[in-house]
Amino acid sequence: MTKTIVSDGSLPNIPWEPRPAGSSDIVWRFSKNPVIPRHASPTADSIYNSAVVPFKGGFAGVFRCDDRARNMTLRVGKSRDGVNFEISDNRLEFHSEEPEIGKFLEGYDPRVVPLDGRYYVIWCNNYHGYTIGLGWTEDFEHFNQLENVFLPFNRNGVLFPRKIGGEYLMMSRPSYAGHTPFGDIFISHSKDLTYWGKHRHVMGPKKDGGLVNWQMTKIGAGPYPIETREGWLLFYHGVLTTCNGFTYSMGAALLDLEKPWQVRYRTRPYLLTPETLYENVGNTQNVLFPCAALTDSDSGRIALYYGAADTCTGMAFCQVDELLDYLKNNSDV
């Protein structure tokens, strides 16, 4: 039988736990959540919205660690099993030949994308305002920083894991200086990872004729998209404005393989919403913010990492075929 997941191949040691008995949820939480507690590094105030990839038979990643001055740092983490992580106590430093770029001030919400034999790191970088920073590593020891991708203000930069039509593709969410109360996902193209253009609109918040819904305020791409034989599977966060501020939930969309700005399906209901104590209570209440997914093409298993309440990191699981069926039957593009 043809495998549904095309990208990344076999990962027999993908972290996994079956759906709990009695549950019919399409995406279910790990019983050991939160897998990364806020003080997993002794100098961290919180560890969340972070990115993990398979590395040398185990797992490595770039983690958002807000320190005890509440400065936003990126740090390297390593794990044998993808569940128990050792997080560095030192902030990650990027090397750059270009002094203007090397002024790395702060960063948050990293994504890590394997591409062309490298691991590209994309994060929200402060360069006279928040924009999309880009760098790469081969060994999770030495990191090189490239030119910032866009002008401020922009957030949620997510690189596609392969070129399409000979070009790199980057998703992003143009925004403004504050806690943005709007936001659509766009795709931009580049031949060299330096100059970006050919901007295409992917999708925006769901207006639903004014009806209240979980993704009505803003949306942003989550983990790098998963290539399936039916299209790019994108997990994304959607935000609802309530009397208590923003609520961040997770949904999914299926994007066209060749023109991924064309949305084929998009979940009308959320897949996960903050409803456990560690998602409801923390530095920022009611936040569930996915930044990474592991896949195993043999079993169709997907393991997601998400930030919980801007404090700690949780995991959740799903099966790709069940998710695609659900998407098709519960879609509202």
Q: How far is the CB of 218 from ligand BMA (least distance, A)?
A: 9
Contact 159, 153 (CB under 8 A): no
Q: How far is the CB of 310 from ligand BMA (least distance, A)?
A: 5
Q: 288: which 2 tokens? A: 């569930």
Q: How far is the CB of 278 from ligand BMA (least distance, A)?
A: 14
Residue 122 or 320: the one with the smaller Cβ distance to ligand BMA is 122
CA-angle at 294, arms to 291 and 295, nearest 5°: 135
CB closest to ligand BMA, residue no: 284
Residue 142 or 179: the one with the smaller Cβ distance to ligand BMA is 179
Identity of residue 275: E
- Please state, in angstroms and rounded to a whole number, the distance separating the CA atoms of residues 63 and 289: 13
- b (16+ CB within 10 A) / e for 55-88: beeebbbbbbbbbeeeebbbbbbbbeebbebebb
Q: How far is the CB of 19 from ligand BMA (least distance, A)?
A: 27
Tell the residue number behind the tokens 């609802």, with chain if given.
Answer: 240
Residue 227 or 279: the one with the smaller Cβ distance to ligand BMA is 279
- Please state, in angstroms and rounded to a whole number, the distance separating the CA atoms of residues 7 and 253: 17
Residue 11 or 87: the one with the smaller Cβ distance to ligand BMA is 87
Q: How far is the CB of 160 from ligand BMA (least distance, A)?
A: 22
Q: How far is the CB of 48 from ligand BMA (least distance, A)?
A: 7
Q: How far is the CB of 155 from ligand BMA (least distance, A)?
A: 7
- Please state, in angstroms and rounded to a whole number, the distance separating the CA atoms of residues 194 and 177: 23
Residue 23 or 71: the one with the smaller Cβ distance to ligand BMA is 71
Residue of 231, 253, 87, 275 whose CA lies nearest to 184: 253
Q: How far is the CB of 108 from ligand BMA (least distance, A)?
A: 5
CA-angle at 60, arms to 55 and 65, nearest 5°: 170
Residue 180 or 295: the one with the smaller Cβ distance to ligand BMA is 180
- Please state, in angstroms and rounded to a whole number, the distance separating the CA atoms of residues 63 and 92: 9
φ, ψ at 99 (rounded to 5°): -55, -35
- Please state, in angstroms and rounded to a whole number, the distance separating the CA atoms of residues 74 and 64: 5
Residue 304 or 327: the one with the smaller Cβ distance to ligand BMA is 304
- Please state, in angstroms and rounded to a whole number, the distance separating the CA atoms of residues 313 and 301: 19
Parallel, antiparallel, or unpaired: how do β-strands 94-95 and 143-145 relate? parallel
Residue 292 or 320: the one with the smaller Cβ distance to ligand BMA is 292
Residue 12 Rama label (left phi>0; alpha psi -120 to 50; beta): alpha
Q: What residue ranges bind ligand BMA (CB under 6 A)?
A: 49, 108-109, 179, 248, 284, 287, 289, 307, 310
Q: How far is the CB of 178 from ligand BMA (least distance, A)?
A: 9
